[in-house]
Chain A
Amino acid sequence: DAMVIQNPRYQVTQFGKPVTLSCSQTLNHNVMYWYQQKSSQAPKLLFHYYDKDFNNEADTPDNFQSRRPNTSFCFLDIRSPGLGDAAMYLCATSRATSGTSGDNEQFFGPGTRLTVL
């Protein structure tokens, strides 16, 4: 089945120790998104790629970086995790970012739960 895969599902890191989260997709979608979601809050978009075109949200801290080496894979790098970065990190994909044909439906991976000690 076509799907969005995230690894690892659970990640524990120490304060200030860099961490990389990965996402892969077999849907062949153009767009990949990274969201941060804290308890009882809406998913917060960090950035997204439309093909190789990177789009950073204005309020995404510089501590968060992303790479998309090919269509299938996207990585989230947290350079110096702080206690406030503990959250669920969600990867999502869509064929496009806008439209009324269903191309902008976003499909989420299972998420990575990040704990910062």
Chain B
Amino acid sequence: QKEVEQNSGPLSVPEGAIASLNCTYSDRVSQSFFWYRQYSGKSPELIMSIYSNGDKEDGRFTAQLNKASQYVSLLIRDSQPSDSATYLCAVNPPSGYSTLTFGKGTMLLVSP
């Protein structure tokens, strides 16, 4: 069974620090990887997608992918209290009729 694993947290960091969120996946042939942010009581919001090994940066966010280790991470630089949310990792297998598998999410708490 395809699985996506995340530490449920909470991960607590002070304002201005770097938050590091991690995700592992079991399906070795997965090709597409996504990070969603979900505030309490709200719907998930796509913040990063990554498709090839290495780093992808977008503003304060950096996604890192290592397919050999089946590992994807999200770094948030200069963390702000408004970043406090649950971050969901999602994985999509390769071509065919496939859909996303979500992890349970990691709760991030950024203290002022």
Number of interface residues of A (CB under 8 A): 25
Q: Tell which of A42, A98, A107, A110 touches B94, judged by Cβ atoms closer than 8 Å.
A: A98
Give the interface SS of chain B, mostly helix, strand, loop or mixed. loop
B100 at interface, CB cutoff 8 A: yes
A99-B32 contact, Cβ under 8 Å, with A42-B104, A43-B102, A105-B49: yes
Contact present for B99 and A41 (CB under 8 Å): no
- Bound complex: CA A89 to CA B51 (Å): 28
A70 at interface, CB cutoff 8 A: no
Q: Tell which of B52, B93, B102 touches A98, judged by Cβ atoms closer than 8 Å.
A: B93
Number of interface residues of B (CB under 8 A): 30
Point out the residues of chain A lying under 8 angstroms from B93, CB to CB. 98
**B-binding residues in A (CB < 8 A):** 33, 40-43, 45, 48, 50, 55, 88, 90, 97-100, 102, 104-111, 113
**A-binding residues in B (CB < 8 A):** 4, 8, 31-32, 34, 36, 41-46, 49, 51-52, 88, 90, 92-100, 102-105
**Besides the known contacts A43-B88, A108-B45, 18 further A-B residue pairs in the complex with CB atoms under 8 A apart:** A40-B104, A42-B4, A42-B103, A42-B104, A48-B99, A50-B97, A55-B97, A88-B43, A98-B92, A98-B93, A98-B94, A98-B96, A100-B32, A107-B46, A108-B43, A109-B43, A111-B42, A111-B43
